[in-house]
Amino acid sequence: MKTEKKKQYQQESRTLFDKCDSFFARYEWIWFWILFGITLITCILLYDPRVSAGGDDSTYILIAHDFLKDFKFPTYQGPLYPMMLSVIDAIFGMSVKAFKIFSLLSMLACMYMLFIAFRKRIPYVLLFITLALTSFNSHVLYFASQTYSETFYMFMQSLFLFVFFRFFIIREENDKGMNVKGMNPLVKRHLLLAVVLLGVILTRSVGYSLFLAVAGYFIFYRQWKNLAWSAACILVCFAAYQMLKYLVWGDVSLQASGQGSGLLNKDFYKPELGREDLAGFIERFWTNSNQYLSRFFMAMLGLRETFTPKGYYVETKPVITVLVYLLGLSGLWFSFKQNKYLFFSGIVTAIFLTVSFVVLQTSWNQYRLIVPAYPLMILLLFSAIYYILSLPKLRSFQFLLFVPAVVIFSGMLSDTSEASAKAGKLKDEYSGLTPDWLHYAQASNWSAGHLPKDAVIACRKPSISFIYGKGKKFYGIYSVSSGNFDAFYERWNADSLSFSVVPLEGMNDQMYRAILGRCEARLLLDDKAYFVVSDRAFLQQWSTYYENPNVISSPRDFEPVVKQAAGLQKAVYYPDSLLVPLQRAHVTHLLTANLRLNPNIKNGKIINTVERVASVIQEKYPAIFTRLVQIGEPDDEPAEIYQINWDVTLK
């Protein structure tokens, strides 16, 4: 009788969460395979046959092809992913479809590993909410049909979590190690962790944050022995990797060392602006937090739009950022007390986001950079709500956990339906491209069939051109290299060089055409441009004919202009210096385009890096470029291919 009353009391005292966990635990594999199937179907519905306009996905393919063909070590971000793609390339050739299928398989493997890692270790209601809100999220699953490294990194990250859970937290709780003979099990499991961690790091450099997460976990729980062993084994594995890289490729550089140096700059593409200081990094962290949490993460949850109807980014909402941080910190606090698996996942998420927000340039604005953290962010935020509603006085409100889940589900369903409808209209790699990208892709393809086999084409997006150009060789122009203005001015002043400076402002087309071929350099003081001309006899005739335009013939006369520009951007561009890298790369042609600065708006503002380089070169060598073809009408964002006439530089 007492036993029956006790059972009845236990059943009545069970909370909603207890009942949900029991239900999901009973049918865990059925629910998982349902969500796994939804993930697969959603990925198929979202299939995109194109390469993206970002270019990084095409770059991975290009690097993989170079690794396979020339055994060139991949130095772009992490080498492991291009190496994996090179295996696909070796089996199926340079098949974009095969590369995309690999991304799909990586996404499915990630879902499976997340389930295996967390099942029976965290509340099932949290696990299945996380998997459900990932299984049909168009923003995340978009990458299952792209060749970015996101899905492969997510798989490696989930594998890392499984290894850490299995060989550290479970062993800590059950006091059971690996039942192996020979090498000490302690050493073996730390070596296994180090190898997996190295794999994550070699996939993307942000994987270094996982080492901090491991160290943080051991410090929080005062596991000094594990901390020492993990640090030692990771150093041994990393040293072995560096030694192998040196012996095979003669490369001793650290991964992302070049890129890491650029990330410390105030502007990644303008190192002349100097290094970021502490205040700058704090500002960068907060700006990125607002952009990625209040804008992109909310859009991924289906709670906000990414762009306004006019094609601009929606404004950031600091109050949303603060709320996300407060909820995340609450999740960390409760999981530290309640569940070590959730706590470690929270540390991984927190450090991943912190590192990303500190090092990423605020101008990059790419939501994909936080996609690998998305499932763990969902898990962390919902765990905070879960444990708050598990408090004795709030247990009757546990149904509120499902309110945000349903709201998010509805928003995601709408986004995914819209995205799948758009994807269904894409028939080939040219479908749905805006005119600027369509003409760029078509011009790249034209080069494959009309230019000599050994032609090398300089352009803004060489990896994308490589894909559309069927493996043709392209050379990337990413910046307009400038000289040091102060050094030029000092040399002009000290050596009394026969230079004269002519302002571009106020010069009509006829005057501009007449001075072409005489320009030794172009000066830039803030937004004002000047020509540097050494032919004073020509300038005298030119000035007389055009009624004495403003010609400054001595550095003393130019000094007031320089003082007025104090503290502003100053640079000098030399046509011959811009030609040197093109000559070294044996560039024979040039591809110019009208790629929009804002991909959603056609307003004439374009990515004009190639065009700026060409214009400076033409100011000294007007006949150096001969147009071969124009793809697209003049008023419809055309792309053009020019032949470079190197012989004119010898005259």
For the stretch 333-348, pLDDT in tens is 999 989 999 999 999 9
User: What's the burial of 633, exposed, middle or buried (CB within 10 Å: 0-12/13-18/19+)?
Assistant: exposed
- Answer whether residue 283 is part of any domain: yes
Q: CA distances (Å), 430 to each of 48, 59, 126, 436, in order?
A: 11, 18, 41, 12
* 454 in the same domain as 338: no
Instruction: Please give the Cα distance from 281 to 255 (Å, whole number).
Output: 22
- Answer whether residue 193 is part of any domain: no
Half-sphere exposure of 503 (CA within 13 A, CB side): 13
- Answer whether residue 72 is part of any domain: no
- Answer whether residue 415 is part of any domain: no
Alpha-carbon torsion, ordered 639, 640, 641, 643, to 10 deg: -160
* 379 in the same domain as 449: no
**CA-derived radius of gyration, the chain:** 29
Instruction: Please give the Cα distance from 626 to 156 (Å, whole number).
Output: 49
Closest CA to 153 of 96, 212, 208: 208
How many structural domains does the chain have? Answer: 3
Instruction: Please give the Cα distance from 428 to 554 (Å, whole number).
Output: 60
pLDDT at 12: 47
Instruction: Please give the Cα distance from 457 to 475 (Å, whole number).
Output: 6
Pairing label, strands 589-592, 625-631:
unpaired
H/E segment holding residue 209: helix 208-220
Residue with tokens 């006949």: 623
Tens-place pLDDT, residues 601-649: 888 889 999 999 999 999 999 999 999 999 999 999 999 999 999 998 8
Half-sphere exposure of 82 (CA within 13 A, CB side): 25
Closest CA to 123 of 331, 262, 351: 331
Instruction: Please give the Cα distance from 188 to 180 (Å, whole number).
Output: 9
Those residues whose C-beta lies under 8 Å from the C-beta of residue 235, and which sit 6 or more positions away, are none
* 367 in the same domain as 327: yes
Q: Is the dihedral of CA 293, 299, 305, 308 positive or negative?
A: positive
- Answer whether residue 245 is part of any domain: no
Report helix angle 150-164 to 96-118, nearest 10: 20
The sheet that has 639-644: what strands, in order across it? 473-476, 456-459, 589-592, 639-644, 625-631
* 498 in the same domain as 444: no
pLDDT at 5: 46
* 323 in the same domain as 472: no
Task: Give the pair of three-digit tokens for residue 506.
Answer: 């106020």
Q: Which residues of the chain are under the pLDDT cut of 70?
A: 1-13, 171-183, 255-262, 266-273, 495-497, 548, 651
* 540 in the same domain as 498: yes
Q: 121 in helix, strand or coil?
A: coil
Q: How many CB atoms lie within 10 A of CB 76?
A: 17
pLDDT at 259: 61
Amino acid at 540: Q
* 528 in the same domain as 605: no
CB 199 within 8 A of CB 237: no
Q: Is the dihedral of CA 246, 252, 258, 260 positive or negative?
A: positive
User: Which structural domain range is residue 474 located in?
Assistant: 435-480+579-650
Domain boundary among 328, 361, 388: 388
H/E segment holding residue 557: helix 555-564
Instruction: Please give the Cα distance from 288 to 284 (Å, whole number).
Output: 6
User: What's the burial of 454, exposed, middle or buried (CB within 10 Å: 0-12/13-18/19+)?
Assistant: exposed
Instruction: Please give the Cα distance from 419 to 142 (Å, whole number).
Output: 9
Task: Give the pair of three-digit tokens for residue 196.
Answer: 């997996």
CB 129 within 8 A of CB 405: yes
Those residues whose C-beta lies under 8 Å from the C-beta of residue 398, and which sit 6 or more positions away, are 15, 16, 17, 389, 390
Tens-place pLDDT, residues 174-221: 554 444 444 577 888 999 999 999 999 999 988 899 999 999 999 999
* 588 in the same domain as 468: yes
* 613 in the same domain as 494: no
* 461 in the same domain as 370: no
Residue with tokens 């291919």: 641
Distance separating the N- and C-terminal Cα atoms of the chain = 109
Task: Give the pair of three-digit tokens for residue 626.
Answer: 């001969």
Domain boundary among 355, 388, 421: 388
Domain boundary among 523, 538, 573: 573
- Answer whether residue 256 is part of any domain: no
* 632 in the same domain as 537: no
Closest CA to 639 of 626, 628, 647, 648: 628
- Answer whether residue 206 is part of any domain: no
Q: CA distances (Å), 124 to each of 60, 128, 171, in order?
A: 37, 6, 21
Q: CA distances (Å), 177 to each of 119, 166, 187, in order?
A: 20, 9, 11
- Answer whether residue 106 is part of any domain: no
* 513 in the same domain as 618: no
